[in-house]
A and B are shown apart, each in its own frame.
Chain A
Amino acid sequence: MRRTAVSRKMSTPSCGRTSSRVRRTAVVLALAGAVAASAAGVQPRHPVYLIYDGFIANADGSLTLAFGYHNVNHVDVTVAGDDNAFLAGAVDRSQPTVFRPGRHRFACVMVVPDGSDARPQWRVRFAGQTSTTTPRMMDPLYALEEASARRAVEGIDIDGAPPGTCLERAAAGKDR
């Protein structure tokens, strides 16, 4: 479309000054088109870092575990299958498979029942790098402070939660 429009302009007889400006415009637009085409086909080459956000010790003895990520790329990244798995126990815990650019806290929030010693680590392999959440999940430093704890469970039905699975967040609370 851009090329066509430029061609039409260039075919219009005019004074030399205008013609020169049009040529410059044509070059700029052509370059812009090339950049746009390049962007459309851009391949994300940077890692996705998984971040363990922390835990909430619930009153009934269960734990709420929260995981997030930081996608360094400027485009969405999709990672599924064996490259996106929890270590120990169920590999697929309904964790995100599409990673949006930037930092996203509380992308996966799960409840681990009272008495369970399951401390699942999340692992993603992408762009030749493996990112795994920390094994030190119960370090007191990882306890979520009050404001973050509220945000972590916002829009989630914790009481009816299936154990050990990333919980579906109500639409209003999806975008963290």
Chain B
Amino acid sequence: MTISLSSVRVRAAVLSAFVAASPALAAANEGGAVPEHPTFTRDVLPILQQSCQTCHRPDMFTPMSLLTYEEVRPWARSIRQRVEERVMPPWFADRTVGRYRDDPSLSEAQIATIARWVDQGAPRGNPADAPPPVEWPAVDTWYHGEQPDLVVTSPPVVVPPNSTETYPEPEMSTGLTEDRYIKWIQVMPGESRVVHHVLVYAVRDAEDGAADDGAPSGVRQLLANRARGDFVGDYFEDGYARLLRKDDRIRLQLHYLPDDERSFTDQTSVGIKFYPAGYEPEYVVRTRAVSNAADLIIPPGAANVRSDAYFTLTEPTRIISFQPHMHYRGRAMTLEAIRPGSSRPEVLSDVDRFAWDWQPTYVYETPLTLPAGTVMHVTAYHDNSAANRVNPDPDAAVGWGQRTIDEMNIGWLDYFHISEDEYAELQAEE
């Protein structure tokens, strides 16, 4: 191994840099003791900077900005409720299973600090205690601190209010004259409010170029998957990258979910920054959808319906990330590994509170190393009961489908293969 294996792909790398830059934020991140008399400036603002302001700032898709005391104070009780319920920040993996990069979830002490602050009247405190404001990047900008080498933009699509969900799939040429490896890729919807998700594929006419496992027909590779709540993109550290071939075209699968009141015209862009020409990474990152469309049936009113999907690793593999994808009835999803010769599944991730409108990618702090022959097991749970407050129709039996009123049970895995020797070396280290 010639490069660090501690971190491969980074989402929100820039955001991490912001957080790490502030001692106050670092302290908030530790989340140890609960102050007896918390104040906004000393105790609450660092938490908001660390875990909330990423989205809650002007011109974002969020309903309120949480930069200042004046902005926060009217929402104090609501903030308390949302963090106590762990609805916010939107991070739904069991905190006792696995370790992830850029985990914005609050510690119990941080939640208790906010609760106590609200109980005591949400005082401002001494302005001198406040950490310096975070200089967030402008909205509608490329998050990784540099301009992309390639930007492809979809044709404008009008999304009228209360109209049918649509799934346009525009294709665009890249203009590449040679194969290039991707350093980062970011999807930037023009109107986030109506864009449910965007899948970015590399497609080509020729029969050569093996398709990714599980990819749709005609698709060579899934490049990126932007679901709601994921607006930063993928960053591939030196040594690990996705390949975009010169003959590939970019195909977007855009899923538009119309607004109830307003019409929107969206043009979604994809920005790609490449590593320098001639660069060859040590590992090529691939994506696999582990799902079971054929057997998915969710009876009407059923509160906890399980479905299972499996995928066997044919080579020693390092798993970079896991992203559950379901729709309105999604309730939870678990990723397990069953190593060869073992009868005991090993839980890798447990997203025990899935929220359809927030579908973060859970990037492992250190890529998970698994031997060839390991069976990856994705277990999905759906709630089709009336108690599911976002369920549009508890009276309907539901199966697999593209629309959000249909369902899915996809566990997306990003991974790369390693050699048997590398696997043995990593095992020895561990």
Whether chain B is bound by chain A comes out as yes
Q: Which B residues are CB-close (under 8 A) to A140? A: 162-164, 258
A102-B403 in contact (CB<8A): no
Nearest-neighbour CB distance to chain B for A126, whole angstroms, equals: 13
Q: How far is the CB of B195 from chain A (nearest CB, A)?
A: 15
B297 contacts chain A at the CB level, 8 A cutoff: yes
Residue numbers in A under 8 Å from B398 (CB-CB): 51
Contact of B165 among A49, A131, A143 (CB under 8 A): A143
A-chain residues with CB within 8 Å of residue B155 when the two chains form the complex: none
The minimal Cβ–Cβ distance linking B169 to chain A, given in whole angstroms, is 9
Interface residue? B137 (CB, 8 A): no
Give every chain A residue within 8 A of B23 (Cβ-Cβ): none
Contacts of B300 in A (CB 8 A): 131, 134
Q: Which residues of B contact A167 (CB under 8 A)?
A: none
Count of A residues near B, CB < 8 Å? 28
Q: Which residue of B lies closest to A129 (CB)?
A: B299
B88 interfacial contact with A, CB 8 Å:
no
Q: B395 near A148 (CB under 8 angstroms)?
A: no
Q: Does A52 contact B (CB under 8 A)?
A: yes
Of the candidates A103, A135, A139, the one whose C-beta lies within 8 Å of that of B405 is: A139
Contacts of B396 in A (CB 8 A): 51-52, 133-134, 136
Are A49 and B166 neighbours in the complex by a CB distance under 8 Å? no
Q: When A70-B399, A134-B396, A136-B396 are in contact, do A141 and B405 touch as well, CB less than 8 Å?
A: yes
Interface size class of B (residues with CB under 8 A): 20 to 34
Closest to A135 in B: B395
Using a Cβ cutoff of 8 Å, how many contacts connect chains A and B?
A: 67
**0/1 interface trace, chain A 114-148, chain B, CB 8 Å (1 if under):** 00000000000000000111111001111111111
Q: Which residue of A lies closest to B402 (CB)?
A: A145
Question: For B162, what are the chain A residues with a Cβ–Cβ distance below 8 Å?
Answer: 140
- A109: chain B residues within 8 A (beta carbon): none
Are A72 and B297 in contact, CB atoms less than 8 angstroms apart?
yes
Please, how many angstroms separate the alpha-carbon atoms of A105 and B403 in the complex? 14
Kindly identify, within residues 257 to 271 of chain B, every residue whose CB is under 8 Å from any CB belonging to chain A. Answer: 258
Docked CA distance A72–B307 (Å): 13
The answer on a CB contact under 8 Å between B393 and A145 is: no
B227–chain A nearest beta-carbon distance, Å: 18
Contacts A72-B297, A103-B294, A147-B402 given; does A141 touch B392 at CB 8 Å: yes
- Min CB distance, B97 to chain A, in Å? 31
Instruction: Point out the residues of chain A lying under 8 angstroms from B358, CB to CB.
Output: none
Q: Is A166 an interface residue (CB 8 A)?
A: no
Q: Which residue of A lies closest to B166 (CB)?
A: A145
A136 to B396, CA, bound (A): 9
A153 interface hit (Cβ, 8 Å): no
Select the residue from B163, B258, B399, B402 with max chain A CB neighbours within 10 A.
Answer: B399
Inter-subunit contact B297/A49 (CB<8 Å): yes
CB neighbours of A132 from chain B (8 A):
395
Please, how many angstroms separate the alpha-carbon atoms of A105 and B297 in the complex? 12
Q: Which residue of B lies closest to A70 (CB)?
A: B297
| Most chain B CB atoms below 10 A, which of A54, A139, A142 | A142
Contact of B299 among A49, A54, A134, A143 (CB under 8 A): A49
Assess whether A50 is interfacial by the CB under 8 Å rule. yes
In the complex the two chains form, what is the Cα distance from A89 to B398 in whole Å? 25
CA distance A49 to B402 in the complex (A): 19
Question: Chain B residues with Cβ under 8 A from A133's Cβ?
Answer: 396-397
Given the interface pairs A141-B405, A147-B402, the reply to whether A51 lies near B397 with Cβ below 8 Å is yes
Smallest CB-CB separation from B165: which chain A residue? A145
Contact A146 B167 (CB under 8 A): yes
A127 to B297 Cα, complex, angstroms: 17
Are the CB atoms of B167 and A147 closer together than 8 Å? yes
Q: Find chain B residues with CB under 8 A from A143 CB.
A: 164-165
Q: A49-B299, A103-B297 are in contact. Are A134 and B164 (CB under 8 A)?
A: no
Of chain B, the residue at the smallest CB distance from A104 is B399
Query: Among A134, A141, A145, which residue has its beta carbon within 8 angstroms of that of B167?
Result: A145
Q: Which A residue's beta carbon lies closest to that of B396?
A: A134
Closest residue of chain A to B394, judged by CB? A134
Taking the complex as formed, is B400 at the interface, i.e. its CB lies under 8 A from any CB of chain A? yes
B416 to chain A, nearest CB (A): 32
Query: Which chain A residues numbered 72 to 118 have a C-beta less than 8 Å away from chain B?
Result: 72, 102-103, 105
Interface string of B400-429 (1 = CB under 8 A from A): 111111000000000000000000000000
Chain B residue nearest to A51 (CB atoms) is: B397
Query: How many angstroms from the CA of A50 to the CA of B165 in the assembled complex?
Result: 23
Question: In the assembled complex, which residues on chain A have CB atoms less than 8 Å from the CB atom of B404?
Answer: 141
A105 to B399, CA, bound (A): 10
Task: Show 16 residue pairs from A and B whose CB-CB distance is below 8 angstroms, ordered by the A residue.
Answer: A47-B299, A51-B396, A103-B294, A131-B397, A133-B397, A134-B393, A134-B396, A135-B395, A139-B393, A139-B405, A140-B163, A140-B164, A141-B392, A141-B405, A142-B405, A145-B164
Binding site for B on A (CB under 8 A): 47, 49-52, 54, 68, 70, 72, 102-103, 105, 131-136, 139-148
Given contacts A140-B163, A145-B166, 5 further A-B contacts (CB under 8 A): A51-B397, A51-B399, A136-B396, A141-B403, A147-B167
